[in-house]
Structure 1
């Protein structure tokens, strides 16, 4: 049986969900961002227990099919932007269609309905958060960051960065207050 879980955005999330399910006596076959496969089928009471336990950690069981699709889209984008080892040289609509085995226009309509924003805006927000992370670590130049995130130029990255954050990348880097968001806050 598969469970769809909201707000799973990192490897720690996967570890917490797996540990809590095991404490409740369930046997997860696999725990991925946003989805858990269990050996056994679960009752409504079991689902309620799991939901209560996971809510304690900021996770939420998803029952609605559209919400599940929106979460799968978010997970795919997070994986692409934050965990891919290669530069983001991919057509986003083709990538998402392939990942979810659904036509992009259908995915786009569902995402906009559920999240009240477009897939593109969400993707840009994730890319800017990744740029913030890279700027904070200071290991790459702005040119290298633009390349890694598939911006056509440093100017394009800088313009988008300022539009989203209100700061230029240079101003962000010199500011002392950390303005980064956790992935589930985006």
Structure 2
């Protein structure tokens, strides 16, 4: 068995695209998960280089070093938390990451800050604010419902954090919807 770690896999569509890249090369993965592809057999270096080119062409990259793998795992867990699990943490973020990655949070935090030039907390907040923007643009939920779904303690807390990050109140943002959302990989 061989496991490859892939950067920028953040959603179910990403899994479909990555799987098709492998299958188009005649490589049938055993499993494709966010950030990981498991293969039955090892692949040759030439095949790996070709795979790297094809993945890069569709916005993905292979991760080789241990630090990058850890950073990618942190990002994948936080993205999944915000996008798919409605941010309902049973513990705080540091405890969640410790439980998932079995590494001391201070070590993870220092590594993340060193490589990404931002803290895990700021990254998490930025992802949540992008999700808030998305939900405001969809215009299907009230601000109260958005605050609840993203586990904010109150609408006031969400509004304050939103204004701190974007410079606008959620209401003002809703009225000017022309402000573009950021792609996850740009955060």
2:173 corresponds to 1:172: yes
CA offsets 1:96-141 (integer angstroms, 9 cap, x no match) = 1111121111111111111111000000011101111111112221
How far did 1:92 drift?
Answer: 0.6
How far did 1:86 drift?
Answer: 6.5
> Which residue of the partner structure matches residue 97 of structure 1?
98
Task: Name whichever of 169-178 and 10-19 sits farther off.
Answer: 169-178
> Which residue of the partner structure matches residue 126 of structure 2?
125
> Which residue of the partner structure matches residue 74 of structure 2?
73
2:145 corresponds to 1:144: yes
Q: State how far apart, in whole Å, the 2-side matches of 1:174 and 1:109 are.
A: 39
Structure 2: gaps of 5 or more residues:
none
> Which residue of the partner structure matches residue 24 of structure 1?
25
Q: How does 1:4-83 map to 2 (within 5 A)?
A: 4-83=5-84
- 2:30 is paired with a residue whose SS is strand
How far did 1:4 drift?
Answer: 0.9
- 1:52 is paired with a residue whose SS is helix
TM-score relative to the length of structure 1:
0.94
Q: State how far apart, in whole Å, the 1-side matches of 2:115 and 2:35 are.
A: 16
Contact 1:26 1:40 in 2 (8 A): no
- 2:122 is paired with a residue whose SS is helix
Q: State how far apart, in whole Å, the 1-side matches of 2:54 and 2:173 are.
A: 38
TM-score relative to the length of structure 2:
0.94
Q: State how far apart, in whole Å, the 1-side matches of 2:178 and 2:166 are.
A: 13
> Which residue of the partner structure matches residue 114 of structure 1?
115
Structure 1: gaps of 5 or more residues:
none
Equivalent residue pairs, number: 186
Task: Name whichever of 119-128 and 152-161 sits farther off.
Answer: 152-161
Q: State how far apart, in whole Å, the 2-side matches of 1:145 and 1:89 are.
A: 18
Alignment RMSD (CA, Å):
1.4
Q: State how far apart, in whole Å, the 2-side matches of 1:181 and 1:10 are.
A: 15
List structure 1 runs of 4+ shifted beyond 4 angstroms.
none
- 1:3 is paired with a residue whose SS is strand
- 2:107 is paired with a residue whose SS is helix
